[in-house]
Amino acid sequence: MAATRPRPPCTICGEPCPPFRRSYCSDACARKSRRGKKTDSQYLEGLARQMARAGARVENADLEDFARLVRAQEALDSAILRAVRGLRGNGFTWADLGEATGTTGQAAGQKWGELGFLARQVAKREASA
């Protein structure tokens, strides 16, 4: 008699999965797993993919969508600056930030520092908003 493979437990409720399912015992558990349980890194990777797709869509769209894409970039600039300030405040060095993003600490400081291009752009936008 062939050995029956142990059924893996449902990752949501822990019940054994039926033979034709590997991760979830039911559609209800599969839906639960998809519902808002993304980690920050999954969320950010998804956002990066969405932004790339948005660029591909807008290249064939109109100027209003182009303007929306530029506003998305401005929001991203502000988010990056806020993240940089927070990370710096928590003790990360420019070298740390540079290494994480594949550049030097000096380049990171010039790009994201208080006197850098991004900070000046965001400050200018916030002043005119």
81 binds Zn ion (CB under 5 A): no
Q: Count residues contacting Zn ion (CB under 5 A)?
A: 5
Question: In the numeric block, which tokens belong to residue 11?
Answer: 């990752």
Contacting Zn ion (CB under 5 A), which of 8, 9, 13, 57?
13
CB of 4 to Zn ion, least distance (A): 20
Q: Give how far Cα 103 sits from Cα of 24, 92, 98, 117, Å.
A: 42, 15, 5, 16
Beta-bridge partners for 9: 16
12 binds Zn ion (CB under 5 A): yes
Residues 27-56 within binding reach of Zn ion (CB under 5 A): 29
SS3 94: helix
Q: Are 27 and 34 in contact (CB under 8 A)?
A: no
Neighbouring residues of 14: CB distance < 8 A, sequence distance ≥ 6 = none
The region of 23-31, 77-85, 86-94, 98-106 touching Zn ion under the rule CB under 5 A is 23-31
The region of 2-10, 78-86, 104-112, 114-122 touching Zn ion under the rule CB under 5 A is 2-10
Binding interface with Zn ion (CB under 5 A): 10, 12-13, 25, 29
